Structure 1
Amino acid sequence: MTSVRERIRAVLAGAIDYESGLDALAVARSTEVDPELVAVKDEACARLWRGGWQPAELHRVVARRGQPRQADLVTDAVAGYLRQFPAGTVDPRWRAQAEFLGAQVWWSSDARYLDELAARWRLDRVAVLDLVLGLLVILSTLPPIEVLLPPPGSPVPGDRPDAAGSSRVDARLLDRVRALLAKAESTTFPAEAETYTAKAQELATRHSLDEALLAARCADPAPVVPYARRIGVDHPHEKEKASLLDVVARANRCHTVSSPELAFSTVFGFDTDIEAVDLLYTSLLVQAHRAMARAEPPGGKAGRRRLKAFRQSFLVAFTVRIDERLTEAAQLALAQVTGPGEGTGRADPADLLPVLAARDEQIRDTMRRVFPHTVRARGSRVDSREGWESGRQAADRATLPTDTGRHS
């Protein structure tokens, strides 16, 4: 007699078709099916978390490939998984992602989980079995990825300078940057958004250069090595969004590798710079979408193709213009630090530039180790002139780089 677990494995291996497997589970005793199905789900999630996946990443890719409720099943799996580990063995960043997802054990027991889930979602039993089995199919296709955060159960340093040994990011600075970007996103006046965003970029850039200056002047600097973070890139227009992320990363002395099939890009750099990339990219997306919504032509069936071309062209133009401005900002910030004048913030280019070059080579070495084989992405087409022009105008209003000297 075939066991429940064997039936599940046969579906995942393609030995029997999905509908036949689902029917077999639906007619079997729930007391036999439910514990095994829940256990296989939890084991699959645990395998992926040990294989480098983080809670937010797994939730995002399941929501992308499946249904929102299947992503909710991942959230529940996070809560159940964390029950096994003392708080001291869970990295704070891993736990923060679980809290952001709202992961809590709401069910009375694992044995009754599927029954209580059906009642909670007002679904019949077959629909719940379909959701869980479908989730298992998605999870079975996901490969292990680079471990960037220690999974629960791993030793967690009591005083973490950084997950890879790099310097601690100034929390007060990040709070100031977040506050400025929040104001830029909330205002309806483009000039105010320009000022707030430009000041945020200025703070982030100067802090990063100050960190490099300290390393250049220190006779026996502490070991500082590059780090990496995966940032979600959601659909639609994933390619254009990944390009925007790459532009922001390069302006902040980072490098990216896009994994579109897994719905994220990996950003390589030092902690200070990665934090700036994450914050600025998120804010720029908010500003771009808001400007695009104001400028886009009417949709409807007749205009759907025109609207799609407009949005794609808008994001391409927005990214190209932001790239120009961020490049100018980086050059300006460097000139201000290394130019003639007096003050503790000034540096001899002969001291600072080699440090920046060495840090960049460290980042590239780390990236090559994680991704030894990469393919350069092709550029996006521009099929809408009005989208292109609107995107450049929106990027001009964002004015990240060139105003850093004026908004002080």
Structure 2
Amino acid sequence: MTTAPHSSAESSAAKALDRVRKLFAKAESVAGTPEAEVFLERAYGLLAKYGVDEALARSGPDAQPTEVVVLDHVVTGKYQPDQVGLVASLAAAMHCRAVTSTRGDGAKVVHIVGVRRHVERVGVLAGGLTGVMLAAAARQRPGPGVSPVTHRKSFMTGFAFEVGRRLAAAEHGAVADSGDAAGAGLVLRSDAQRADSELRLRFPSAVRGARRRVGTSGIEEGRRVGGSVDLGQSRFGGGRRQLGA
């Protein structure tokens, strides 16, 4: 019995994402070490190839628009608004959009809207980078007169901002280096527009979150750590704060 092409592709994609998740888990277990950076570099390289190759596959004249889906990413534990900010930044980076809600038990849910391949990348990134960010924040020691919580929250704001900034620059580089920059760029812009439309359709009452006020004591250190996380350099992409950040 011959396996259908789409089933083979789905199996390959599932294996790739499983490898990425395992690499992120290894990186989190040794966070802050050179070994962690090696694991992260491998994970980002796989994710970049996974996303760009798919965009190129959809740039042909006969290609059909892929499905737009919603992934519910549950945020629990401490520093939930800060975790939400990171996930929302990653969603925008991967041509998706995000909006949050609060469950009855108090946990926040980030609803990530976008083309399936991008949403899957956001889910993997969110799981991996949240652990890296929280681990790094826990190691922070503020200066005299600054509370640890305030310092850590500003650290995470800087971390999320810098990761998003670097991903944005890297995504443009990955498209430029691809075999069909014009075609891939057109597909990705269309993906972002479709995510916008789907968010308005599924969450018509959503409003842009108010700008959060955080201290400044840890922002630069957060940006430094966010800048040191190996994102695969010119192989990946990112963006700005979005709904719920």
Does structure 2 conserve the Cα–Cα contact (< 8 Å) formed by 1:238 and 1:260?
Answer: no
Q: Higher helix fraction: Structure 1 or Structure 2?
A: 1
Residue 397, structure 1, aligned to residue 228, structure 2:
yes
Structure 1 counterpart of 2:128: 283
Q: Distance in 1 between matches of 2:157 and 2:231?
A: 17
Residue 308, structure 1, aligned to residue 149, structure 2:
yes
Q: Higher strand fraction: Structure 1 or Structure 2?
A: 2
Q: Deviations over 1:203-239 (max 9, x none)?
A: 21222221121122262x3552201111012243222
Displacement, 1:198?
A: 3.0
Residue 191, structure 1, aligned to residue 34, structure 2:
yes
2:200 corresponds to which letter in structure 1? R
Q: Distance in 2 between matches of 1:348 and 1:327?
A: 16
2:87 to 236, 245, 254: 245
Displacement, 1:245?
A: 0.3
1:209 to 16, 33, 52: 52
1:388 to 219, 223, 228: 219
Q: TM-score, normalised by structure 2?
A: 0.81
Q: Distance in 1 between matches of 2:233 and 2:185?
A: 22
Q: Percent identity, please.
A: 27
Q: Give the secondary structure class of the aligned counterpart of 2:177.
A: helix
Paired residue total: 227
1:267 to 95, 102, 112: 112
Q: Distance in 1 between matches of 2:51 and 2:129?
A: 20
Residues 390 and 267 (structure 1 numbering): CA distance in 2 closer, same or farther, change over 3 Å? same
Structure 1 counterpart of 2:165: 324
Residue 257, structure 1, aligned to residue 99, structure 2:
yes
Question: Structure 2 stretches of 5 or more lacking a match?
Answer: 237-245
Does structure 1 conserve the Cα–Cα contact (< 8 Å) formed by 2:31 and 2:132?
Answer: no
Kindly report the root-mean-square deviation, in angstroms, between the aligned alpha carbons of the 2 structures: 2.8
1:209 corresponds to which letter in structure 2? V
Structure 2 counterpart of 1:347: 180
2:27 corresponds to which letter in structure 1? A
Does structure 1 conserve the Cα–Cα contact (< 8 Å) formed by 2:91 and 2:119?
Answer: yes
Radius of gyration: which is bigger?
Answer: 1
Q: Give the secondary structure class of the aligned counterpart of 1:324.
A: helix
2:169 corresponds to which letter in structure 1? E
1:366 to 187, 191, 198: 198
Residues 237 and 357 (structure 1 numbering): CA distance in 2 closer, same or farther, change over 3 Å? same
Q: Deviations over 1:116-166 (max 9, x none)?
A: xxxxxxxxxxxxxxxxxxxxxxxxxxxxxxxxxxxxxxxxxxx9x79xxxx
Residues 168 and 362 (structure 1 numbering): CA distance in 2 closer, same or farther, change over 3 Å? farther
Q: TM-score, normalised by structure 1?
A: 0.50
Q: Give the secondary structure class of the aligned counterpart of 1:269.
A: strand
Q: Distance in 2 between matches of 1:383 and 1:264?
A: 25
Q: Distance in 1 between matches of 2:188 and 2:148?
A: 43
1:257 corresponds to which letter in structure 2? V
Structure 1 counterpart of 2:176: 335
Structure 2 counterpart of 1:228: 70
Residues 223 and 347 (structure 1 numbering): CA distance in 2 closer, same or farther, change over 3 Å? closer
Does structure 2 conserve the Cα–Cα contact (< 8 Å) formed by 1:184 and 1:194?
Answer: yes
Does structure 1 conserve the Cα–Cα contact (< 8 Å) formed by 2:173 and 2:234?
Answer: no
Residue 295, structure 1, aligned to residue 140, structure 2:
yes
1:282 corresponds to which letter in structure 2? G
Q: Give the secondary structure class of the aligned counterpart of 2:139.
A: helix
2:139 corresponds to which letter in structure 1? R
Structure 1 counterpart of 2:239: none
1:379 to 201, 207, 211: 211
Q: Distance in 1 between matches of 2:188 and 2:53?
A: 11
Q: Distance in 1 between matches of 2:31 and 2:70?
A: 34
Q: Give the secondary structure class of the aligned counterpart of 1:295.
A: coil
Q: Give the secondary structure class of the aligned counterpart of 1:197.
A: helix
Which residues in structure 2 correspond to 1:53-68 (within 5 Å)? none
Displacement, 1:356?
A: 2.2
